[in-house]
Amino acid sequence: MISKVNSKDTLVEIGIESIDGLISAFTSGMPILSIVKKLKELSDSFRNKRLVKKMILFLEEIESLQIEADEFLNSQLSNEDDLQKNGELLFAIIDRADDLRKAKLIGKALKYLLTHKIDNMKNIFFRLCHLIIDAYYDDLEILALFRKDNEQLSTSDEERLEELYRFGFLMDVRFRADNLNESLGNLINSDGFESNGILYVLNNYGILLKDILLSK
């Protein structure tokens, strides 16, 4: 039987006891290779090489963070307990990822939020992480297609739109536009797709993840 991973113990073993420590490791010049080496050394002890792969993909995305990101993170977290609890939560979320690409996307999301100094970053990040974890990864990529003057999606994509709506990245504007003198045609031509008579547009988390997907 595969042993359970204790996120707190594992973080301590690799020399990172909190989310702050994880970011500080890079902003202080600690090379990713040293962290990766420690993770690989642990892979046999907790018998979960897949988790190691996910952690490496996540770490590679945040490797280039600057010192300003570390300072901003500290301003968003209240105390040492908060730092450690969020480090453990982040580790547990990455452990839950059913697709290696999700771990990479979570790293990309953290880097984006820190780089752009998004207010209420902690709550936004963890909520976004849960949305990413629950969704099917290939469906998430369609968010990048929401842009001006899009054509309607093919029938094969309708299910993907419905899933993105169900997991919290889209909204149905019909509920918001019923009492407005707006043309659904104009809405479709701006930032929405029509599926089965339902007009889907990006909500705030959909817009955020679209920007993250398109970021470098």
Q: Digits of tens for pLDDT over the chain (216 positions)?
A: 333 444 445 444 544 444 555 555 544 544 555 555 566 665 555 446 787 788 888 888 887 776 566 666 666 665 555 656 777 788 889 989 999 999 999 999 999 998 888 888 889 999 999 999 999 999 999 888 886 444 444 434 778 888 999 999 998 866 444 444 454 444 444 456 655 567 788 899 999 999 999 997
One domain for residues 110 and 208: no
Six-digit token string for 12: 């301590």
Q: Of 71, 100, 134, which residue sits at a domain end?
A: 134
One domain for residues 143 and 129: no
Number of domains in the chain: 2
Distance separating alpha carbons of residues 56 and 36, to the nearest angstrom: 6
Q: Across the beta sheet with 198-202, what order do the strands follow?
A: 170-172, 198-202, 192-195
19 found inside a domain:
yes
One domain for residues 11 and 108: yes
One domain for residues 92 and 72: yes
Q: Are 199 and 184 in contact (CB under 8 A)?
A: yes
Structural domain for 48, as ranges: 7-134
Q: Of 97, 115, 134, which residue sits at a domain end?
A: 134
pTM for the model stands at: 0.71
Cα–chain-centroid distance for residue 4?
24
Residue position matching structure tokens 């979570």: 106
Q: Of 134, 160, 192, which residue sits at a domain end?
A: 134
